[in-house]
Copies of this chain bind each other. A is one copy, B any other.
Amino acid sequence: MTWLTRRHAFSASHRLHRDRLNPEANGRVFGKCNQAHGHGHNYVLEVTVAGEPDPQSGVLVSPAAIDACVREAVLARLDHTHLNDLPEFTAQTPTTENLAIQIGRRIAGSWRATGRVRLAKLRLEETGSNAVELDLHGHEGND
């Protein structure tokens, strides 16, 4: 088994807040991430696929194919935005965990599964000291 990982970066802002909670409870749960107009990050996204390289070309999958998928499904939608403005974050808080899950869904939805290569995992780094990972295996086509 061979894994190939591509890394991309994007910048976005968010506010961690739940409408159902009162200000005190929001402050207790989300701390300084609850401040009124949000703050932001340079996110680093790694997408990993797994499979067996094609015996003729020696290529698992073209890096350009992963990049195109990430650009279309993730960067075009999230880069230079305020995440709370997106419909998927109307009901859900854009925590790193939820952001990773939404990114995983979009990538799985636009990834064309093949017999030879499958999505394996996703890693989303919010800062140099905070990162979330998800297992993407089996999620293709389940958007």
Contact = CB atoms under 8 A, between A and B. Distances in A.
Interface residues of A, number: 60
Interface string A1-34: 1111111110111100010000000000101110
A58 B92 CA distance: 7
B29 A11 contact: no
Given A33-B80, A53-B98, 17 more contacts: A2-B100, A4-B97, A5-B130, A6-B129, A11-B40, A13-B13, A35-B80, A36-B85, A39-B79, A39-B80, A40-B40, A41-B41, A42-B127, A57-B95, A58-B98, A59-B93, A59-B95
B101 A63 contact: no
Contact of A40 (B7, B41, B48, B133): B41
Interface of A: 1-9, 11-14, 18, 29, 31-33, 35-42, 48, 53, 56-60, 62-64, 79-82, 84-85, 92-98, 100-101, 127-135
A54 B128 CA distance: 24
B38 A41 contact: no
A60 to B, nearest CB: 5
Chain B CB within 10 A, most for which of A14, A62, A94, A132: A132
